[in-house]
Chain A
Amino acid sequence: MQDNAAVDTSSRFSTKYIADNEKFLGWAFLLPAVLYILLLVGVPFVLAIAFSLADVTVGDTTLNFVGLQNFARIMQTPEFWQSLRNTFGFAITAQIITIILANILAVLLSSDFRGKWFALVLIMLPWSTPIALGAIGWLWLLDSKFSPIDWVLRYFSLLGGEGALLGVPKNLYYLGKAQLAQASIIMVYVWRMLPLSAVILLAGLTSIPQDLLDQAEVDGSSFWRTLFQIKLPLILPIMIIAILFSFIYTVGDMAIVFILTRGGPVYYTHVLPTWAYIKGIEGGALAEGAAIALFIFPVLLAAAILILRYSRRTEVT
């Protein structure tokens, strides 16, 4: 008690005990992060809202308030609706595939086997590669003429030639046909998000107390019963966090689509971020670009709130 009192009075006059003052320390440590968020997230965000309600273009940045006109205008274009559908279609489909594969991977990785660390390194690779490099790699793999995937298919006589399962043409043109391009993008999203989800789930699985698993074994539970009735329900909160994280990531990402297809063929693979970029930056219609980009905001906000809520729940149990 006396020591504390001494610290309090002296800290008012000297800086000797300043590092003992939690109020000061808290602010000092938080300040860089707060500044960073205010300047690089907050300001652009407010600006985007302002732009979306005004008539700014790249050529004329004076703000004239026009109400919801921009929103009304973008909603009349088919490109917008296609982008909106794609954004959620891609993200949701990719999430479903990712979480199934991630569960399988996590269950495999939670058992002990030789070379486990090597498998872990391999699995983490897609996540540790810069996204642009990974996407360019896929661009080559999915090339219309020189796709190695097509080589393999041709080698096994599945493609090119009379009676081949996948058709007579020598190539599949992955990024050239609307549905194949969409499927390719979803696949690359899965490739990208799988490592993170698998490792999050693996952490969840390893955090289940051994006692519970032993108990299930003594209780006569089979592998599948233990998996579906004990393990998966127990890691459900963590699984939801993994899904939401990778959902937010996918919805907000423009690199993969932009590098692989630039939204094509025509506009069939545009997502809201790429469409906002094409419209706002390349097309010069800043206001409409901002309006398009803001469309995902409520969804991302909801996902972020859910993440915070679930992460608190996992702490409790």
Chain B
Amino acid sequence: MAVIETKGLTKYFGEVKAVDGIDLSIQEGELMVILGPSGCGKTTLMRMIAGLEKPTGGEVMIAGENVTELPPRARPIAMVFQSYALYPHMTVFNNIAFPLKARGGFSKEELKEKVEWAASILGIERLLARKPRELSGGERQRVALSRALAKEPGVLLLDEPLSNLDAKLRASARDELQRFQRRLGITTIFVTHDQIEALGMGDRIVVMSGGKIVQVGTPRDVYHDSSNVFVAQFLGSPGMNILEMDDFLVGFRPEQFTLKTHETESDGQKTFSFSVTRVEYLGADQLIYGNIEGYEREYHVVAKFSSESTSIVEANHTYEFVVNRDQLRYFEKQAGSRIEPRSF
């Protein structure tokens, strides 16, 4: 059953179409990631689902009920902001208790019990007496999550909750967040511009661009079967290499662009003459920048090797590189949508 549905959801800010006709359906217990570059309308979409932004057009349904006209507090949602938005003058206990007090009808003991329960899920019982400024980034995030959970919402909305953490903490927070979502089985919408988070955490990913949905699918779908050249280039680090042919585009992923060797040689491969200009060493990986030669124009592309790779490539040399034909992706030149394979 769809817990959240949007129908033709639209938001204009003056002349600007921030969100342009979004039809989306999110299932019970699902972790749905909304991914897109900044300014694509993903945060506005989430704020409309939360009720913080009034749509210009369209509907929001939560648990079968049309909530489009309802204020946030009438919706069964909780939200965690990028800044965590902890109330700085309240202790952690009072922060977590705030949504419960706002709802009312709890005795002091019930309140204490619920706050302690919410704190225990994130393992922050020992922080209850502290003020937000005495907490580290990771602890603040947990407090914000506890506060969101305290009122046992039907839907959890997370707006870039990891981007304020440092890189090292982010990986473990990602893992923790996903395990905790699975354990509680709470329907979650997760907005991010970080494709690693999106691919790593989402049950499904909605890729947005220019206020519209470009593709919805599992991480594997959107990465390997990108329906659009925008998705193909946005996902992956670096994104897909795109070669512009006369009347279509062809692309392949950097990690699928490999040095031709006798062992790997086969008919199902497309061979390119690749003149390397620079090798970038990135620890685990290395990126090889260069140009594909032999076509009317020169194409700048990137290959990605593991640093452990035995293939040695050096700058200012030309090599034969290959891509498996079934890994080549073809796109329309104008609209950028996926098309059947062509020969070139």
B81:A215 contact, CB within 8 angstroms: yes
- Determine the chain A residues whose CB is within 8 A of the CB of B81 once the complex forms: 211, 214-215
Which segment, of B84-92, B246-254, B281-289, faces chain A? B84-92
The verdict on A221 contacting B102 (CB below 8 Å), with A209-B83, A214-B85, A215-B85 known, is yes
The answer to whether A111 has its CB under 8 Å from any CB of chain B is no
In the complex, chain A residues whose CB is within 8 Å of the CB of B85 = 209, 211-212, 214-215
0/1 interface trace, chain A 208-224, chain B, CB 8 Å (1 if under): 01011011111111100
**Using a CB-CB cutoff of 8 Å, which residues 22-51 of chain B contact chain A?**
47, 50-51
28 A/B residue pairs, CB under 8 Å, sorted by A: A211-B83, A212-B85, A212-B87, A214-B47, A214-B52, A214-B79, A214-B81, A214-B85, A215-B79, A215-B85, A215-B87, A218-B77, A218-B78, A218-B79, A219-B99, A219-B147, A220-B73, A220-B99, A220-B102, A220-B151, A221-B98, A222-B73, A222-B102, A229-B98, A230-B87, A234-B88, A234-B89, A317-B133
Residue A313 is within 8 A (CB to CB) of chain B in the complex: no
Return the CB mask of B122-163 against A: 1 if under 8 Å, else 0: 000000000001000000000000010001000000000000
CB of B262 closer than 8 Å to a CB of A? no
Q: A216–B90 Cα gap in the complex (Å)?
A: 13
Q: Which of A229-287 contact B (CB under 8 A)?
A: 229-230, 233-234, 236
Q: Is A225 an interface residue (CB 8 A)?
A: yes
- Which of A209, A215, A217, A236 is in CB contact (< 8 Å) with B71? A217
A232 to chain B, nearest CB (A): 10
Q: Which residues of A contact B79 (CB under 8 A)?
A: 214-215, 218
Number of interface residues, chain B, beta carbon within 8 A: 25
Which residues of the partner chain B approach A220 to less than 8 Å between Cβ atoms?
Answer: 72-73, 99, 102-103, 151
Q: How many residues in A have their beta carbons less than 8 Å from beta carbons of B?
A: 19
A229 to B95 alpha-carbon distance, docked (Å): 11
Q: Which residues of chain A have C-beta atoms less than 8 A from B133's C-beta?
A: 317
B327 to chain A minimum Cβ distance, whole angstroms, is 43
B residues less than 8 Å from A230 (CB atoms): 87
Which residues of A sit under 8 angstroms from B83, Cβ to Cβ? 209, 211
Within residues 205 to 243 of chain B, which ones have a CB less than 8 A from any CB in chain A? none
Whether the pair B88, A218 counts as a contact (CB closer than 8 A) is no
CB distance from B127 to the nearest CB of A (A): 18
Contact at A219–B98, with CB atoms within 8 Å? Answer: yes
**Known pairs A215-B87, A220-B103, A236-B89. 6 more at Cβ < 8 A?**
A211-B82, A217-B52, A218-B78, A221-B73, A221-B98, A234-B89
Q: Which are the 9 A-B pairs with shortest beta-carbon distances?
A: A220-B73, A215-B85, A219-B99, A220-B102, A211-B85, A218-B79, A221-B102, A233-B89, A218-B72
B72 touches A217 (CB 8 A): yes
Closest chain A CB from B246 CB (angstroms) = 50
For B80, give the chain A residue with the smallest CB separation: A215
Q: What is the minimal beta-carbon distance from A237 to any residue of chain B, in angstroms? A: 10
* Contact digits for B161-177, partner A, Cβ 8 Å, 1 yes 0 no: 00000000000000000
Q: From residue A211, how far is it (CB to closest CB) to chain B in Å?
A: 4
A207–chain B nearest beta-carbon distance, Å: 12
Nearest-neighbor residue (CB-CB) of B144 within chain A:
A215
Which chain A residues lie closer than 8 Å to B151 at the CB level? 219-220
Rounded to whole Å, the gap between the CB of A227 and the closest CB of chain B is 13
Min CB–CB distance A4 → chain B (angstroms): 34
B87 to A218, Cβ gap below 8 A?
no
Chain A residues within 8 Å of B89, by CB: 233-234, 236
Per-position binary interface string of chain A over residues 80-101, scored 1 when its CB falls under 8 Å from any chain B CB and 0 otherwise: 0000000000000000000000
Shortest Cβ gap from A271 to chain B (Å): 36
A257 → chain B closest CB, angstroms:
39
Against A, the Cβ 8 Å flags (1 = close, 0 = not) of B265-291 are 000000000000000000000000000
CB-nearest residue of chain A relative to B94? A229
Q: B98 — which chain A residues lie within 8 A by C-beta?
A: 216, 219, 221, 229
CA A230 – CA B102 in complex, angstroms?
Answer: 12
